[in-house]
Structure 1
């Protein structure tokens, strides 16, 4: 998608997800997380174009102004929505799919000091609750829900699961509560190998 189309999709996401938004003009003027996302779209485009200094400068201004820290290298899909925004950290090699929702104080962080892929990859339609921390080059599957305060490090999250706690444990699969909490799979394993016989039907 073109830059303008991405920003428009983010504005659409505000209208779809924030009942406090009184209209598009109100969101354009007053919704600080939307401003942060739009600024990131611009800094990311400059980063991809190889422009020196300016992308990081914009990101730093964004952090001071909005409380949202997004590295210009982070890849973010369409219709991205951040609610409240303060304390959100999204690292350089993070990838976020389309139609995702993130609440305040969420960290998509790295582990170690190597320069390769070290931040989470988030699928489409994922919701990440307030204060959740996801660390390492993990994969979070499509439509997963990460509960408030959840801590996940070096563990993949399957699609269509709800994960809560510290450390994060699966409590629902495809909307069905499991009979006992399931541990997450280490990142070397498959994200889709689940025992569906443990569903409470």
Structure 2
């Protein structure tokens, strides 16, 4: 093979390799993982890994409704553990509820537990915007039956865009229109009735006098 043909073959091979590499970058390594997602807090202590931890407030800045903690908990150990408590600095302890509303929050051996979102376990903070500010990083402590306390700094975000489906399910209620009090109603109806009674009495007296 002449030197010119060899150079042409090498160039073609280089181009083919480049195209293959670009295709691998676009479709390989699970292409979905290339999507832009929030960089949420994660940490590992012993057999427990806490991933994607975030505190989610109501979407409305004026709202005083509850906030929630969303996270995925992994247990790499050989025995199950329970999540006994979650506390957030400045906001207190969260109320924990299992996915079906009963029982403890258990992370099975070699399994995981999801907090937040539809049909998942929940961790609700009664004080939302009163003590939490969007954009801040708040210390969150997860207490497990065997591993003990696992703490990390989690971002506080509103229940919008990506976080909407993981946010609080309990929305703040709109204040109802103010209705008249019983005293006001009684006063309002008593006056016309009193005037009518007085007129009737006066008419009866005049008729009798005639």
Query: What TM-score does the superposition give when structure 1 sets the normalisation length?
Result: 0.21
Task: Tell me the TM-score normalized by structure 2.
Answer: 0.20
- Higher strand proportion (structure 1 or 2): 2
Larger radius of gyration: 2
